[in-house]
Amino acid sequence: MTKLSAWKITCTVLVLWAATAAWAQTFTTLANFDGANGYGPYYMSLIQGADGNYYGTTAFGGVYENGNIFRVTPDGLVTLVYSFCEQTGCTDGNIPSAALVLAKDGNFYGTTYSGGDTNGGVVFRLRRNGVYTVLYDLCVGSCTGQPGASQSPLIQGTNGELYGTSLVGGHRGACKDRSGCGSLFGITTQGSLTGVYGLCNKSNCADGDFPLGGLVQGTDGNFYGTTTQGGSSNYGTVFRITPEGNLTTLYSFCSQPGCSDGAIPDAGLIQGLDGDFYGTTTQGGSPNPTCPGVGCGTIFKITSSGVLTSLYQFCSQPNCSDGYGPQAGVIQATDGNLYGTTFFGGNDLTDCDGQAGGLGCGTVFQLTLDGVVTTVHSFSNSDGAYLRGGLLQATNGLLYGTTVVGGDLSCLYHSAGCGTVFSIDMGFNPFVAFVGGAAKVNEQFGLLGQGLTGTASVSLNGTPASFTVISNTLIRATVPAGATTGYVTVTTPSGTLTSNVPFHVIP
């Protein structure tokens, strides 16, 4: 098995659900996929919609057995919103592997891994009224100057355009065996490409190759991300790219002896409240016989200038009870700590695909910023396994996530289940979140929450803002004159809600 594929398990893995509490918290299985309503949520984290429900994708299953966009209510009712391969030849795309993004226009945008006119996947829009449109056909073949197949989510930049990464495409460079080395691209919400950066554009792929994670736009206006290959040791990079397309490699993994600094970051980054960026690597860290390759994975912090600090090395606890092989990134919850998932490990070392070996079924973990990891939930063959996606903290304070398979044993695809949706109640208070977390004076932005009907006031860092209550779960507000970057507060009939992150006022 190659170093890149060492952690990759195909969608045919089997899993069931269970929970082990590390401290006072409530774990709930919200929904089981059964094949008909989807199978296999993949590199996907749920997002919160304007209606207060949660949305995601499954890579397989559904009406045409080629994946779906689904909606799940807070009480666990799953509804198919769109089933892929509805059109002849799957020209609408199939195998959606990534999360959706809720844009400022109220529509969802996303990508598929395959399908479309060229079978290289598509960029799509799903309107609020359910109308689905292919905006752009991702390329297949030489892909010169074009983005190819993608398994990463799109983000919306402060300028309103969408940005993403592709596994292939860009230009062939040193990656002729797989139709290009990947790309970073921008596209409008109407489907016009605004720029493409082809990776492996520098000698020996020093600028990276094969990006699997998405991008994040920093408060400085630049975009930050990771590649799983390339860099000085070919174990992946962290990069910064300006809106004009100038890329700087900030860090090459496996630069330290034994890859103690980490290797192969599958996921993208987040920017923490301290301004630094946080992420995970699937391999690297302390040598451990449990893990193939060069270690069991890490959590790291990196500054915008490229100074990397390893915060935690997985499988540091006996029998890898802390988990290992994280394939998703982390979130920063309202308590200030980081939360994430691991693909393997945990308290139960059952091999969750039904084979011998004892790899463990994965965990949900908490990491304090000074590097202390606590297992929040350890999965086993009775309650699920193999978490590829990350977590969402919804505005009700709860954490939500998915497993690739598991749950309903009568699943049409697997006797061990087709995947699940779960929630974890850590006792966090409700808050409001943004649809578009940066804007100029007099521009509008959205506020997601609950109990918003009857809101009396909205203020941005203490400056009153005009607003319209659209529904009990959505407010549309306007950046007021004189406002400065800071937290947004909303006064509702049941109390005051504060945003989980600052809103950035663009000069």
DSSP 8-state secondary structure symbol assigned to residue 304:
T
**Mean pLDDT throughout 277-306?**
92
Distance CA 259, CA 261 (A): 5
Higher confidence at residue 176 or residue 425? Answer: 425
- pTM summary value: 0.93
How many CA atoms, within 13 angstroms, populate the side-chain half-sphere of residue 329? Answer: 26
pLDDT value, residue 2 = 34
pLDDT value, residue 144 = 77
In a domain, 493, yes or no: yes
Distance CA 413, CA 136 (A): 31
Distance CA 443, CA 441 (A): 6
Distance CA 168, CA 119 (A): 13
pLDDT value, residue 500 = 97
Q: Map residue 259 onto helix, strand or coil.
A: helix
Distance CA 466, CA 450 (A): 19
* Whether the Cβ atoms of residue 148 and residue 183 lie closer than 8 Å to each other: yes
pLDDT value, residue 385 = 76
User: How many CB atoms sit inside 10 A of residue 273's CB?
Assistant: 11
pLDDT value, residue 384 = 72
Handedness of CA 57, 59, 61, 63 (dihedral sign): positive
In a domain, 338, yes or no: no
In a domain, 453, yes or no: yes
* Whether the Cβ atoms of residue 234 and residue 252 lie closer than 8 Å to each other: no
In a domain, 494, yes or no: yes
In a domain, 278, yes or no: no
Evaluate if residue 9 carries a pLDDT over 90.
Answer: no
Evaluate if residue 147 carries a pLDDT over 50.
Answer: yes
**Mean pLDDT throughout 482-499?**
97
Residue from 375, 313, 327 nearest 27 by CA: 375
| Lowest model confidence (mean pLDDT) among 184-188, 204-208, 421-425 | 204-208
Q: How far is CA 296 from CA 40, 228, 299, in A?
A: 24, 15, 11
Residue 445 sits in a domain whose CATH number is 2.60.40.10
* Whether the Cβ atoms of residue 239 and residue 224 lie closer than 8 Å to each other: yes
- pLDDT bin (cut points 50, 70, 90) of residue 416 is low
User: How many CB atoms sit inside 10 A of residue 26's CB?
Assistant: 12
Provide the residue range defining the domain that includes 446.
433-505
Distance CA 246, CA 448 (A): 34
**Residue-wise pLDDT tens digits, 325-380:** 999 999 999 999 999 999 998 886 666 655 445 678 889 999 999 999 999 998 87
Distance CA 116, CA 207 (A): 29
Q: Which residues contact 147 (CB under 8 A, 6 or more apart)?
A: 138, 139, 164, 166, 169, 170, 183, 185, 193, 196
Residue from 367, 360, 368, 358 nearest 344 by CA: 360
- Domain tally, the chain: 1
What type of residue is 102?
L
Residue from 192, 137, 117 nearest 160 by CA: 192
In a domain, 205, yes or no: no
What is the DSSP annotation of 45-87?
--EE-TTS-EEEEESBBTTTTB-EEEEE-TT--EEEEEES--S
- pLDDT bin (cut points 50, 70, 90) of residue 143 is confident
Q: Which residues contact 136 (CB under 8 A, 6 or more apart)?
A: 122, 123, 187, 191, 193
Backbone angles phi, psi at 319, to 5 degrees: 60, 25
Q: How far is CA 17 from CA 13, 406, 407, 435, in A?
A: 14, 6, 6, 33
**Mean pLDDT throughout 230-241?**
96
Q: Map residue 467 onto helix, strand or coil.
A: strand
* Sheet of 155-156, strand order: 155-156, 162-166, 183-187, 193-198
Mean pLDDT score of the chain, rounded to an integer? 90
Tokens 């992150």 belong to which residue? 501
**Residue-wise pLDDT tens digits, 443-467:** 999 999 999 999 999 999 999 999 9
| Lowest model confidence (mean pLDDT) among 16-20, 83-87, 230-234, 404-408 | 16-20
Distance CA 185, CA 285 (A): 31
Q: Which residues contact 503 (CB under 8 A, 6 or more apart)?
A: 434, 437, 438, 439, 445, 460, 461, 485, 486, 487, 488
Evaluate if residue 4 carries a pLDDT over 50.
Answer: no
* Token reading at 46: 């749920």
